[in-house]
């Protein structure tokens, strides 16, 4: 369902993506980290297979992250950082073989300095990735779980709504009476099989399991449509049999 996102970037976006790739590279490792990684690549005596595979990882995932047309494609750069971490490790090993650094005390000082640099770099980025004060998903989930009627079918649209509802039901084990349906996945056979095994009481019409036909096939259940667009969008209706 996501294949259309591949190469879905314009020329202008491509240039911005490349700039972002370089900026992230610098932010994650800094000058010292990239310099040590370069040593690991250029002069390392590591097995050729290790260097080849890590280089392939870096190139393939870099290209994929740049040309994949989603707002969160930078997540796919994680294997790139892993490759660079390998090269940094090899670079440190090579630096320690410099004659002057073979002196035990000097070697320890250099190693300690590099270690402190890594921790300082990580600490400087901690506020950027600390989500402990971001309660939007929790607030949204609590609101939905508190508002939807018992035994309702909940059609969740968008990743924010779907993942939040799944987390509350399958991880926190809240509102097991609800049937959470990812509306965007209804046209996949594997998802219909998953729904059948997860909610055996749910009637799934085939060959057209659209939200409308799902509602018609389960007339005794209330129906809710849930989406997160900066705030919770919740629209619920009771079955005709329960409407006075």
Tens digit of pLDDT per residue, the chain (244 long)?
678 888 888 888 999 999 999 999 998 888 888 998 888 888 877 677 888 888 899 999 999 999 999 888 889 999 999 999 989 888 888 887 777 666 677 778 888 888 898 889 888 888 888 888 889 999 999 999 999 999 999 999 999 999 999 999 999 999 999 999 999 999 899 999 999 999 999 999 988 888 999 999 999 999 999 999 888 899 999 876 554 4
**pLDDT for residue 240:** 60
Widest CA span in the chain:
89
The confidence score (pLDDT) of residue 102 equals 66
Output the pLDDT for position 101: 64
Number of independent structural domains in the chain: 2
In the chain, where do the E strands start and end?
153-157, 179-182, 223-228, 232-237
Which phi-psi region, left, alpha or beta, contains residue 30 (left: φ > 0; alpha: ψ -120 to 50)?
Answer: left
125 and 144 co-located in one domain = no
Domain ends where: 114, 129, 144?
A: 129
Confirm whether 111 is domain-assigned: yes
User: What are the distances in angstroms from CA 173 to CA 176, 191, 194?
Assistant: 7, 21, 18
Burial of 180 per CB tally in 10 Å (0-12, 13-18, 19+): buried
**Closest among 170, 10, 159, 172 to 75, alpha carbons compared:** 159
Look at residues 110, 129, 148 and tell me which one is the last residue of a structural domain. 129
Strand partners, 224: 154, 236
Based on the fold, state whether residues 153 and 222 are members of the same structural domain.
yes
146 and 233 assigned to the same domain? yes
Q: Are residues 46 and 147 in the same domain?
A: no
Res 241: pLDDT: 53
Domain residues for the domain of 55 are: 3-129
Q: Does residue 123 sit in the same domain as residue 140?
A: no
Identify whether residues 49 and 123 lie together within a single domain. Answer: yes
Asked if residues 148 and 234 have their Cβ atoms less than 8 Å apart, the reply is yes
76 plus 151 within the same structural domain: no
Of 113, 129, 145, the last residue of a domain is 129
Q: Is there a contact between 29 and 84 (Cβ–Cβ < 8 Å)?
A: yes
Q: Are strands 232-237 and 179-182 parallel, antiparallel or unpaired?
A: unpaired
Q: What is the pLDDT of residue 138?
A: 93
Does residue 244 lie within any of the structural domains?
no
- Quick one: 153 and 109 in the same domain? no
Same domain, 15 and 85: yes
Could you give the residue ranges of the DSSP H alpha helices within 96-236? 104-129, 136-147, 159-166, 189-198, 211-217
Q: Are strands 223-228 and 232-237 parallel, antiparallel or unpaired?
A: antiparallel
């Amino acid at each position: 369902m996501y294949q259309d996102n591949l190469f879905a970037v314009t020329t202008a976006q491509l240039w911005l993506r490349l700039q972002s790739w370089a900026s992230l590279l610098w932010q994650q490792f800094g000058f010292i980290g990239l310099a040590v990684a370069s040593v690991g690549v250029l002069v390392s005596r590591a097995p050729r297979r290790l260097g080849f595979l890590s280089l392939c990882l870096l190139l393939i995932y870099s290209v994929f992250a740049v040309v994949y047309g989603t707002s969160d494609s930078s997540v796919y750069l994680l294997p790139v950082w892993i490759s660079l971490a390998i090269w940094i490790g090899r670079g440190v090993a090579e630096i320690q073989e410099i004659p002057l650094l073979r002196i035990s005390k000097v070697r320890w000082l250099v190693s300690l300095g590099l270690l402190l640099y890594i921790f300082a770099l990580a600490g400087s980025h901690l506020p950027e990735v600390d989500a402990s004060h971001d309660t939007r998903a929790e607030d949204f989930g609590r609101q939905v779980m508190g508002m939807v009627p018992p035994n309702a079918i909940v059609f969740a649209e968008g990743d924010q709504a779907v993942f939040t509802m799944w987390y509350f039901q399958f991880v926190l084990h809240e509102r097991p009476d609800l049937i959470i349906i990812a509306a965007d996945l209804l046209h996949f056979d594997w998802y219909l099989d998953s729904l059948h095994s997860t909610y055996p009481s749910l009637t799934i019409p085939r060959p057209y399991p659209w939200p409308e036909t799902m509602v018609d096939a389960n007339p005794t259940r209330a129906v809710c449509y849930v989406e997160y667009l900066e705030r919770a969008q919740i629209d619920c209706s009771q079955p005709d049999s329960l409407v006075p």
